[in-house]
Amino acid sequence: MSLRTEQSAVTVTVTVLGLGPMGRSLAGAFLDAGLRTTVWNRTPGRDRELVARGAAGSPSAEEAVAASGVTVVCVVNYDAVDAVLRREAVTGALKGRTVVNLSADTPGRARDTAAWAAEHGVRYLDGAVMTPATTIGTPAAVFIHSGPEELYREHRPVLQALGGTHTHLGEEIGRAAAYDIALLDIFWTAMAGYAHALAVARAEGITARELAPFAKGIGDILPPIFEATAQEADNGDYPGEGNPITSAVSSMAHIVHTSEAHGIDAGVMRAAEAVVRRAIDLGHGADGFTRIAEFLGRR
C-alpha cells in the first residue's frame, strides 16, 4: 500500500528544519509524496518555492517542530543543530516527538546529541545522506541511519518518501556518522587527488578534457579493488603479489618529483609516501598497499 493510500486513514505530517539545497530537496520529496510538510529556516525567504508547492511555512522553529510528530533536521553541522534545537522553547516543543538528524558531523557529536535528546525526552535517530541533492526523491538516493531500531521502523514509511535506499546500520547512535566520515574520506581524498592530477596534467600541456576519459578508467578500477581488499583488511593479511608496496612507493616518488619540478605542492602525496616508507622500513615492503591502514597515525 502506498504512502498516499495510507493517508486516507491518517494525515502524515513531517517538519523539515534547514532549507539549504539538501533541505529543500528533502522537503520537496515529502511534498511530492503527499505528506503535510512544515518548513523553517533561520534565513527568511528560502521557503517561498516550497510554500507555493503546498508546504506550511513556520515563523519559528518551535512552532515548526510542534506541527509534526517527526522533525527532519538538515543543516551544515551539529553546531547549527544545537543552535536551533537546544533553545529552551524548541527543546520543550520537541518533548515526546522524534528528531531525525541528517546533518553531517562526527560520531562523537552524534552521541552527544543523542544524550541531550534522552535527557530532554526527545526521541532521536541519527543519519546521513550519501548522495547529492539532485538524487533526493529518486531511486538513486542513498540514506544511512542509526539509533533505536524500533524508532527507525516506526518512521521508515515517512523516510521512504525521500526515495532511494535506506539502511539501518545498528542501534549505536554514532554508527551512521562513522560510516559517513569514512565514505567522505574516500570521496574528498579522491577529489583532492583529481584536482592535483589536473594541475600536474596542465603543467605538462594536457587539458582536463583530454585527461578525463583516462581518469574515469582509473576510477573504474577502484570498486573491485575495494571489494577484493576488504577481507584482507579485516583479516590482517595483505598479499602483495603483482603490486607490492615497494612498487607503489616508486610511483609516488615520481609524482612528487614531477609535481615539484613544476612548482606544484605535493604535500598530500609526500604525506602518503612517508606512511608507505614507514611500512617498508618495518618489513612490509612485499605486502599489499592496504597494509598502510595499520600504520596511519603511528610515529
Residue-wise pLDDT for 150-181, tens only, equals 999 999 999 999 999 999 999 999 999 999 99
Interval 87-104: pLDDT, tens = 999 999 999 999 999 999
For residue 299, is it within any domain? Answer: no
**CATH number of domain containing 210:** 1.10.1040.10
Cell (9 digits) for 82: 544545537
Quote the domain boundaries for residue 194: 178-294
Alpha carbon dihedral 268, 128, 231, 219, in 10-degree steps, equals -50
Residue where one domain finishes, among candidates 172, 202, 231: 172
Residue 150 and residue 194 in one domain: no
Distance of alpha carbon 221 from alpha carbon 215, whole angstroms = 10
- Residue entry with cell 583516462: 214
Residue where one domain finishes, among candidates 172, 201, 220: 172
Q: Looking at the predicted structure, is the pLDDT value of residue 116 above 80?
A: yes
Contacting residues for 283 by C-beta, under 8 A, at least 6 apart:
none
2 pLDDT band (50/70/90 cuts)?
A: very low
What pLDDT is recorded for position 295? 85
Residue 225 and residue 286 in one domain: yes
Residue 242 and residue 270 in one domain: yes
Residue 134 and residue 270 in one domain: no
What pLDDT is recorded for position 12? 85
Residue 81 and residue 152 in one domain: yes
Distance of alpha carbon 80 from alpha carbon 74, whole angstroms = 9
Give the mean pLDDT of the chain: 94
The count of domains in the chain is 2
